[in-house]
Amino acid sequence: MKKFLFTLVLLVLITFGGSDNVFAGTSDNIDGYAWSSNIGWISFNCTNDNSCGTADYGVNQNPDGTLVGYAWSSNIGWIQFGGLSGFPSGSGTQGINAKVNGTNLQGWIKAISADGYGWDGWISLSGAVPSYGVNTSGTSFTGYAWGSDVVGWVLFDVQNVYPGICADCGVSLSGDATLDIQSSGVSIVNDGAVPYNTVPTFVWTFTDVPSASCSVSKTSVGGTSFSTVSGITSSGSVSGSALTGPTAYTYEINCTNPTISHQVGFTVAMQPPGFSLGGTETANIQFLASTTADSEQKTFFVSAFGGFSSDVSVSVTGSTCPGTTKYSLGGGAFSTNPTAVVISSPYSAGSTFKARVTQAITSSCTVTLTGNGGSVSAPKDYVINPSNFAPTFEEY
């Protein structure tokens, strides 16, 4: 009887046409082929064989997990996903339209050419006795559906069960969620010498994964920390902190519904040799009866990094104080352009700074010191902050 029905279906398709009808769009996000030993290949998207110019069809997974659209069999015609009613009953089946629930597919689809030709066309996506069903594994669909009339078992992951037939022809979600890490808009992924102190931007891109929920996290140990970003449901980006090294960094994007995991990485180069003289400091100065006064003495230190080990020569390279102001470095005599050398053994000894202002000032002025060692230089500012007294008299 079923052989007769199958022959009748073929006759109907030949007589009334097939894939010349248009049922969906090229934007559908499921592609690949399922296989039935009874009816052969079932195509889930016209992009599989570049036939979209003739029949623009496909199956799409919506954000709520529902599956809609049409698949195509050259033997039984269109198989409809969604928009169905009057579902049959069966052990372990659900009387609903096709839907992804977690990692399981539930409900029914239907070969619409069956209507009025002696078979029901229904295909169940999961059931019991025996236990069967279509599942998701990452972006792939796996397992079997069942059509009791004509269709039989429908295998969704042909490449896993019959690897000799094809390497990657099974049904899958064509979308993806990817992670890129950039500096100034240029990817640094797989870069083996990312400059020290680079500030990264983490960019994630969603393509046809409407119901995915993802997180981006750091998976390597050491270096600059990164706070995991969770609950990601669309494309976006976030800035990180300056990268230290030398360190190899790895990060992952992990998603559910569908399960997606990608790891990317790069290596930050060693910090180049250098030093600093510290940040801006204030040196107070008090004017009494005289218009000439010395500021308080301040001590500065050389902080070396990246293997820097040269002696550092420090001099005054700029000043907004009056032109007659003189300076003392390292306890030396006051002059307009003194120099002090901080030797590398040890840098911790540091050096001193003092300013002598020869005319009273009423507002702050800034003195810039610059240290030079090898090919490296570093500045340091001192703000000279005046404090003026006006004597007071009391009668007794």
Question: Token pair for residue 326?
Answer: 């003189």
- The whole-angstrom separation of Cα 271 and Cα 265 is 19
Judge contact between 129 and 143, C-beta under 8 A: no
Q: Just give the CATH number of 274-388.
A: 2.60.40.10
The pLDDT value recorded for residue 259 is 83
Classify residue 156 as exposed, middle or buried by CB count within 10 Å of its CB (0-12, 13-18, 19+). buried
Taken as a whole, the chain contains a residue count of: 396
Question: Token pair for residue 343?
Answer: 């030797």
| Whole-Å CA distances, 321 to 102, 296, 371 | 72, 15, 20
Helix (H) or strand (E) holding 9: helix 2-16
- The whole-angstrom separation of Cα 179 and Cα 241 is 17
What pTM was estimated for this model as a whole?
Answer: 0.65
CA nearest neighbour of 180 among 154, 200, 158: 200
The pLDDT value recorded for residue 168 is 83
Preceding peptide of 346 cis, ω within 30°: yes
The pLDDT value recorded for residue 165 is 86
> Residue 161 — φ and ψ, nearest 5°?
-85, -35
Cα radius of gyration (the chain): 38
Q: Going residue by residue through the chain (396 aa), what tens digit of pLDDT does each one get?
A: 334 333 333 333 333 334 334 444 457 889 999 999 999 999 999 999 899 988 999 999 988 889 999 999 999 999 999 999 999 999 999 999 999 998 899 999 999 988 777 789 999 999 998 999 999 988 899 999 999 989 999 999 999 999 988 888 999 988 889 999 999 999 999 999 999 999 999 999 998 887 789 999 999 999 999 999 999 999 999 999 999 999 999 999 999 888 899 999 999 999 999 999 999 999 999 987 678 899 999 999 999 999 999 999 999 999 999 999 999 999 999 999 999 999 988 898 899 999 999 988 999 999 999 999 999 999 999 999 998 555 555 565
Question: Token pair for residue 23?
Answer: 């049922």
**The tokens 């019959």 sit on which residue?**
162
- The whole-angstrom separation of Cα 85 and Cα 79 is 14
- 3.90.1580.10, 3.30.450.40, 2.60.40.740, 3.30.160.270: CATH of 176-268: 2.60.40.740
The pLDDT value recorded for residue 45 is 94
Question: Token pair for residue 58?
Answer: 């496909």
The pLDDT value recorded for residue 24 is 43
Using alpha carbons only, give the angle 265, 268, 273 rounded to the nearest 5 degrees.
180
Residues carrying CATH 2.60.40.740, the chain: 176-268
- Grouping H, G, I as helix, E, B as strand and the rest as coil, residue 158 is helix
The pLDDT value recorded for residue 183 is 98
Residues carrying CATH 2.60.40.10, the chain: 274-388
